[in-house]
Structure formats: structure tokens, C-alpha cells
């Protein structure tokens, strides 16, 4: 059931709509599947994650919006203890099946929304998301919730892109209604200032933003021909901050 906090100023329960969209994505013509870790793009993401969260220091990590599991599987392979959180039961089923296929045995999967995750989660050393921020109708609520899930001194990391509505429609099979796209503030960000400000306003210290131009180049090189005009300037970025120790 929706609560008053689930309804945005457009009168939409956007979280429920996005959940249903990604449930549909777990089946049918646009079924989502993990990246091939051995492929060029998979290797690029692995290099980035190895730099950010090296295996020499095993960590407890929450992967928010885990989807079909690539990020969670890669982090587990680096020696970390990973919990995957996703609002979509369908995507969690895909992730669970892929984990069994990949023999990832110690992955915990939890159903819940990024903006109001289950209260009994955590605390974690790291909270991370990839390709999630743009889907959130209230990203400030998500950051506040993640702040409470990470240990003092722990990190919150976000990886996403300044993608266009055209690319979203082309890669999600036209599933997002126009009124939902209008309700996603970070989809309409044209520079990194709103993302950096979001991290700073949440109370995190040592906030840093990094443009991931080399990830852009890899994703663009592997994109289908019909998507390449839309992936030429993807604008992938990393934003991170540390929860104050006190």
C-alpha cells in the first residue's frame, strides 16, 4: 500500500511505478542480464571497483539497486561481504539465479526501496550504487537513509551518468511514461553540481566527484550502432563521501 510519503508532487507513486518497470524488465524482450565480467566493459568496471574498494581490506558492502547483480558479484569476487538491495522482486529473482550460476554463495539479497530501505539493515562499511541515482524521485531521501546505514567513518559511493531521456527510452524499451521521467530530478541534471550538492547536504565529509571519461569511452565503444549517437557523451561520474566519525 502507498503511504503519503510515496506520492510525489506530480501525484504519482513513482517508486511503485519504477518497481513495476523493472519487474517487467526481468522478463520479456528487454530482459536485463549482468555484464560479462570477462568482457571489455566488465573488466573496466572491475578495474574501477578494485581501485575504490581493494580486496586487501575486506568490507561489508550494501549494493543499492543491485539489479541483476554485476556490481554485487564483482565486489564479492574481490573478497567483500555483499548485501544486494532492490525494489523489484523480479530483478532479485534474476540476481539470485545468476548468483547460483556464478557460484556466488554468500550474497544476501533483500527486497526494499532505495529511499526507505528496511530498518534492520546494516551497519555497513560502504553503501554503493551504480546506474541508480537517475531513477530516484527523491534522491535526498535515499542519501539520508544510506547515511543511517553506513558506519561512522564509512563511505557512500554513487556511480551514474548524465544520461538523456532519449537514451533512457532507447534502452528501456519505452517503458518509462513521460510523467515518470519528469519526476526524476537527476535524470535532468546537465552537470555534476546537483549530484555534489546532494552528497554535501546529506552531512557527508570529504565529498569528491570524479568524471569517468574512460568508462564513457568503453561503454560507447561497446554500444549497439543505433545507440552510439546517444552514448558519445554519456557523462559517467563517481561521487563519494565519508560519514563523520562523530
For residue range 152-187, list pLDDT tens digits in order: 999 999 999 998 888 887 777 567 788 888 889 999
Angle ∠(45,71,34) on CA atoms, nearest 5: 90
Nearest by Cα to 116 from 180, 64, 59: 64
pLDDT at 174: 61
In what order do the strands lie in the sheet containing 81-86? 108-111, 81-86, 60-64, 124-130, 150-161, 236-242, 205-211
Phi, then psi, of 209 in degrees rounded to 5: -125, 135
Per-residue model confidence as pLDDT tens for the chain (246 residues):
233 345 454 445 777 877 877 787 767 533 444 567 768 889 999 999 999 999 888 999 999 999 999 999 999 999 999 999 999 999 999 999 999 998 898 899 999 999 999 989 999 999 999 999 999 999 999 999 999 999 999 999 999 999 888 888 777 756 778 888 888 999 999 999 999 999 999 999 999 999 999 999 999 888 888 888 888 778 999 999 999 997
Domain range for 101 is 4-242
Residues 145, 147: Cα–Cα separation, whole Å: 5
Identify the CATH number of the domain in which residue 32 sits. 3.40.50.150
Total domain count for the chain? 1
The answer to whether the beta carbons of residues 235 and 162 sit under 8 Å apart is yes
The answer to whether the beta carbons of residues 132 and 114 sit under 8 Å apart is yes
pTM of the full structure: 0.89
Convert the pLDDT of each residue in 86-118 to its tens digit.
999 999 999 999 999 988 988 999 999 999 999
Amino acid at each position: 500500500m502507498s503511504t503519503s510519503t510515496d506520492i510525489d508532487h506530480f501525484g504519482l507513486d513513482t517508486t511503485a511505478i519504477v518497481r513495476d518497470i523493472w519487474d517487467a524488465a526481468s522478463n520479456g524482450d528487454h530482459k536485463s542480464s549482468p555484464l560479462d565480467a570477462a568482457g571489455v566493459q566488465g573488466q573496466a568496471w572491475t578495474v574501477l571497483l578494485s581501485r575504490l574498494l581493494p580486496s586487501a581490506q575486506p568490507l561489508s558492502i550494501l549494493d543499492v539497486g543491485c539489479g541483476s547483480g554485476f556490481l554485487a558479484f564483482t565486489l564479492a569476487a574481490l573478497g567483500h561481504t555483499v548485501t544486494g538491495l532492490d525494489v523489484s522482486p523480479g530483478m532479485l529473482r534474476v540476481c539470485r539465479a545468476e548468483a547460483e550460476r556464478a557460484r556466488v554463495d554468500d550474497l544476501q539479497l533483500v527486497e526494499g526501496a532505495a529511499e526507505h530501505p528496511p530498518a534492520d539493515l546494516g551497519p555497513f562499511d560502504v553503501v554503493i550504487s551504480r546506474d541508480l541515482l537517475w531513477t530516484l524521485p527523491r534522491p535526498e531521501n535515499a542519501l539520508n537513509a544510506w547515511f543511517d546505514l553506513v558506519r561512522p567513518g564509512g563511505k557512500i559511493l554513487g556511480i551514474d551518468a548524465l544520461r538523456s531521456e532519449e537514451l533512457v527510452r532507447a534502452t528501456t524499451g519505452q517503458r518509462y511514461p513521460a510523467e515518470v521521467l519528469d519526476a526524476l530530478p537527476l535524470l535532468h541534471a546537465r552537470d555534476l553540481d546537483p549530484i555534489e550538492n546532494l552528497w554535501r547536504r546529506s552531512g557527508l565529509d570529504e565529498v569528491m566527484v570524479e568524471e569517468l571519461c574512460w568508462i564513457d569511452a568503453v561503454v560507447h565503444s561497446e554500444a549497439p550502432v543505433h545507440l552510439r549517437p546517444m552514448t558519445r557523451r554519456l557523462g559517467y561520474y563517481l561521487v563519494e563521501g565519508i560519514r563523520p566519525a562523530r
